[in-house]
Amino acid sequence: MELVSQHVKGIMEECKVRARDAGLRFDDETLEYIVTNRDLIELSPKMMIPTLYDYWVHDVRVLSGKGMYEAYPSNPFETVINTRPAISYYNDNNPDWLNVMIFYHVLAHIDFFQNNLFYKNTWDIDLAGQALADKRIIAQLRSEKTRWLDYVIEFARGMDNLVGFHKNLNRTLLHDTPKKPTRTDFYFDLFLQKIRSVPQHEYVKEIDRYNQCKKESTDFFDQVTGRYPEFEELFQKQIAHKEPPRMDIMEYILRYSPFLKKDENEWMKSVIHIVRSTSLYFQPQMRTKTMNEGWASFWHENLFMADNRISGHEADYAKINASVTAMPKVGLNPYALGMRLFEHIHEMEDKGKYSFDYFLLKDAVLKKKYDTHKNTGRSFIFTVREDMNDFTFINSFLDQEFVDRHKLFVAGRRINSQNMTWQYYIKSKKAEDYKQMVINTLYHPPDIRVDADKTKDGILYLNHWFENKPLKFDFIENTMIGIEFLWGGPVHLETSEPKSTAQKDPRYTNFWDPSAPGTAPAPEALPIEWKRVRYVIKDRKLQKQEL
Amino acid sequence: MITLDELLERDKKREQDGFKRKIRIGQIVKPGAGGREKIIVVPTTVEEKFVHDDIVPEQEQGEGEPTGGTGEGQEGDIIGEQPIRPEDGQGEGEGDGEGPGEGKGGAHEIEANAYELGKVLSQDFELPNLKDKGKKKVLARYVYDLTDKNQGVGQVLDKKATLKKIVETNISLGRIPDVSTIDTTGFIISPQDLIYRILSREKEYESQALVFFLRDYSGSMGGKVTQTVVSQHVMLYSWLVYQYEKQVETRFVLHDTEAREVSDFQKYYSYKVAGGTKVYTAFKLVNDIVEKENLARDYNIYVFHGTDGDDWDKDGKQTLAEIEKMLTYAARIGITIVEHSYVGSKQTEVEKYIQSSGLLTRREHLIKLDVMAENVDDSRIIQGIKTLIS
């Protein structure tokens, strides 16, 4: 692993000038390294951060990565990490001309990292440096605590997908001052309805009186304080009242775990903290994959095609670019989808189609011809890259026009029992279905929170806010054993499961021989009914209770 | 970088600390030209977290997970088909003219990794060593080696042996009165004291094992059941490679309602069909192969069969007949039944008829049965191997 040569660095600097001219924004300083495939295998379990703390699971991944490489050699072109200064890696197999294209790709990634608002909490952090400090703490602790250190890492990582990323982001973006109710709001919304519980006619009468006062510009509250002497005091109390901050599970355990409060266990807190902040750092990346890759592909195409250094390599470029950004006949490629969606948004906005007039049009021909020559597409996609994440991006812009234009469809797969084949078919060409299918592939950890009211008598009570997606059963036990360890007492988890035992008869009987003629037709799929259940872990033993 | 041994050592400590083991032995199959694939053994592990299950319960049965696509066509159009029961390319249907040792399963590239894994299994997991490596059935092979010693002349002077001999001579001559202070300058050296090594022809006895791996690949074998069976078979294979010092040949047989031999582990590992189950076909195919190629004479034959326990032949009449026949030559038959979690603890067909046949007690040193649930961990799988080979 070494820095690129001065010559190559010079090329990168030229690319920066052109990328800036096109509107991309990023810091001046960047670091570029040349790496081998072997380096990449060793880096990838550490999320490409060379200074990330050591942990045996990373080693396992490296070992299996090497085995995988031996069987199926791969040759990734580049990787960028979101740190200050941004670091990017280039495969030592890349030819020079290809690196020019990759530089543009990388610069667009850096632009994305440094401008998309979901990354705001990472903007002021030199991650590589931070990670190095963490790595030293971990190494120091490992020398004292031996394998128990690794257990703590393991158990903390068992919860690190449930970190309160959005909550933290809200705090930064909105400066986290929860709105205090005004006097009027408090009077009508809380005081009359909740505290006094006045009958409806009285409530309506007060509203009338309020409007009357407004018209006459007299003080509405004069009478109020007369009628309810306690009002003013209650209102002041309400303003002074602070909502307890919402904590994610890791924060909650850090703050309240009786086990971690013991002197001899203090050290575990810093480990949990390191795991938590590392996870938080990578959250935006996981939630903007399609956009980020789409954005980078969009720009490498636009910038490299306009660059004279492509000359002589047009065919090579076409080949490589196609392998990265072609839409597969069957399957999903986030690079390709993201890139095309940015192009689509660009064009729709240029023609002024994101407008009420266009929305009202029902005539397909007129719709197609619609063009107000607004030509604001370029600036619009910059706004999109700043304000959106994968979900909002796909949910807002993946429309029927897009699906039709690229001839997209949802591909289904079913058994054809006559020929003993898997049959692929066009299941749907509706934008709604396609959108839902894509959204189902996005990163979405379950929403599990501590129920503070039920957390008592030494029991930590977790509540899964259910979204019709059950938890993976196989993982529940070990995850809960870890949480029990760090909490130092029993842990309850409330979640939902299908009412009838999954994989019941129809599936089973049909598995006998779906090909056999005369098999009864598959029973109509019934909507699943859910029931709440509670998993209890105590002394590392898992139990299930029905609720 | 940590080694596999260290990882397993660490995993053992987990157990002492009251946590479950986490390292699993995974295998990557590297395809190669002409079916000469390599099995690369790697450690794997999962990091458990609360995550949504991938399996969407409302999925219609017989339907795979939908994905994206692009191209012409209307809703409902079929865009392609892919055979469920894959064709075996060239090798299908022949079988004559190819003896063991080359072609088919014989040409396995024996991977140092498998040997290593076998060693790990034998040592760290305390799998027993074979008591009888089957030296009766031998392959005699000559190797030339500098093993013989000769006094006076030869190719290479064996310095250590020579020095010993000199000391011996001088003691008998009484020239070493005090062993704590030896004066080597006073040694008398006879020409006969010089020990040489000479090149000699050695006859090497090696045992040979031929292992048939049989797997049910019918429709009911989906998901974990297959994984568990294949994991166990890889470990068994590795253990045998170690025990027989790499002198192991393997043949692979898959069956649903009919049996077929496949040429390599990759196919053995990856093929899926959705058909029904006739267990006897696999045993019959092995019997036929053994008879036709006259394998019983030259090999210790092991047969391992993995299934979920379904069989259309409910009382196992045909299967048992084939097994009886097999028992006349096989060194060991090991049957693994991996039960689906939805079956519960009720006995499966195969288990029932094997139990009631009395074979397990009557021929207990030749046939073993192991029954486990589909979501067991590696230590249970290894435990199963112990049962099968004990």
Please state the domain count of chain A: 5
Same domain, A202 and A91: no
Position A285 in a domain: no
Tell me the HSE value of A459 on the side-chain side, using a 13 A CA sphere: 17
Compute chain A's Rg from CA coordinates.
29
> ipTM higher than 0.85?
no
Beta bridge partners of B197: B149, B156
B52/A327 Cβ within 8 A: no
Q: Which residue in this structure is represented by tokens 């994440």?
A: A389
Q: Please identify among residues 112-151 of chain B the ones whose CB lies closer than 8 Å to any CB of chain A.
A: none
Q: Is the pLDDT of residue B90 over 80?
A: no
Label residue B128 by pLDDT band (50, 70, 90): low
Position A107 in a domain: yes
Same domain, A348 and A417: yes
Q: A355: helix, coil or strand?
A: coil
Q: Where in chain B is the domain with CATH 3.40.50.410?
A: 105-137+208-389
Beta bridge partners of B171: none
B102 touches chain A (CB under 8 A): no
Q: Is the pLDDT of residue B137 over 70?
A: no
pLDDT at A400: 93
Same domain, A168 and A187: no
Q: What are the φ/ψ torsions at residue B80 (nearest 5 degrees)?
A: 175, 160
The shortest CB-CB distance from A60 to any of B45, B53, B65 is to: B45
Task: Write the pLDDT tens digit of every residue in B182-230.
Answer: 888 888 888 888 888 887 776 655 557 788 999 988 877 777 788 888 8
Residues 6+ apart with CB under 8 A from A221: A183, A187
Q: Is the pLDDT of residue B301 over 90?
A: no
Which chain A residues are Cβ-neighbours of B7 within 8 angstroms? Answer: 56, 59-60, 63
Same domain, A144 and A267: yes
Tell me the HSE value of A127 on the side-chain side, using a 13 A CA sphere: 25
pLDDT at A341: 96
Residue A387 CB coordination number (10 Å): 13
Choose, out of B49, B264, B307, B378, the residue to mutate when testing the contact with A (most A CBs < 10 Å).
B49
- The Cα-based distances of B180 to B122, B160, B168, B174, B186 in angstroms read 44, 19, 15, 14, 15
Joined tokens for residue A476: 């529940």
Position A61 in a domain: yes
The shortest CB-CB distance from B57 to any of A57, A151, A502 is to: A502
Pairing of strands B24-30, B38-44: antiparallel
Which chain A residues are Cβ-neighbours of B40 within 8 angstroms? Answer: 67, 70-71
Position A164 in a domain: yes
Q: CA of B126, closest CA in chain A: separation in Å?
A: 23
Residue B56 CB coordination number (10 Å): 15
A422/B81 Cβ within 8 A: yes
Same domain, A330 and A231: no
pLDDT at A436: 93
Which chain B residues are Cβ-neighbours of A419 within 8 angstroms? Answer: 81, 83
Q: Of the residues A116, A140, A155, which one is the last residue of a structural domain?
A: A116
The shortest CB-CB distance from A512 to any of B68, B74, B220 is to: B220
Residues 6+ apart with CB under 8 A from A137: A270, A271, A274
Distance separating alpha carbons of residues A256 and A483, to the nearest angstrom: 13
Same domain, A427 and A460: no
Residues 6+ apart with CB under 8 A from A125: A83, A84, A281
Distance separating alpha carbons of residues B255 and A68, to the nearest angstrom: 29
Same domain, A150 and A265: yes
Distance separating alpha carbons of residues A126 and A82, to the nearest angstrom: 9
DSSP letters, B327-352, are TTT-SEEEEEEEE-GGGTTSPPHHHH
Mean pLDDT throughout B264-282?
Answer: 78
- The Cα-based distances of A241 to A174, A231, A238 in angstroms read 19, 15, 5
**Which among B301, B121, B312 is positioned nearest to B213, based on CA atoms?**
B301
For residue A484, the enclosing domain spans 447-546
pLDDT at A299: 95
Q: Is the pLDDT of residue B15 over 70?
A: yes
Q: pLDDT digit of tens for each residue in chain A (547 aa)?
A: 899 999 999 999 999 999 999 999 999 999 999 999 888 888 888 888 889 999 999 988 888 888 888 777 778 888 999 998 999 999 988 888 898 999 999 999 999 999 999 999 999 888 889 999 999 999 999 999 989 999 999 999 999 999 999 988 888 887 656 667 788 888 888 888 888 888 888 899 889 989 988 888 888 888 888 888 888 888 888 877 776 778 899 999 999 999 999 999 999 999 999 999 999 999 999 999 999 999 999 999 999 999 988 888 999 999 989 888 888 888 888 889 999 999 999 999 999 999 999 999 999 899 999 999 999 999 999 999 999 999 999 999 999 999 999 999 999 888 777 776 778 889 999 999 999 999 988 999 999 999 988 998 899 999 999 998 899 888 999 999 999 999 999 999 999 988 764 444 443 333 444 444 444 444 455 677 889 999 999 999 999 988 8
Joined tokens for residue A411: 């591909």
Same domain, A157 and A266: yes
Distance separating alpha carbons of residues B10 and B187, to the nearest angstrom: 54
B87 touches chain A (CB under 8 A): no
Same domain, A461 and A347: no
Q: What are the φ/ψ torsions at residue A343 (nearest 5 degrees)?
A: -60, -45
Residue B80 CB coordination number (10 Å): 14
pLDDT at B344: 61
Same domain, A232 and A266: no
Same domain, A139 and A259: yes
Task: Write the pLDDT tens digit of every residue in B362-374.
Answer: 887 888 888 888 7
| Superfamily (CATH) of domain B105-137+208-389 | von Willebrand factor, type A domain (3.40.50.410)
Burial (Cβ within 10 Å: 0-12, 13-18, ≥19) of residue B74:
exposed
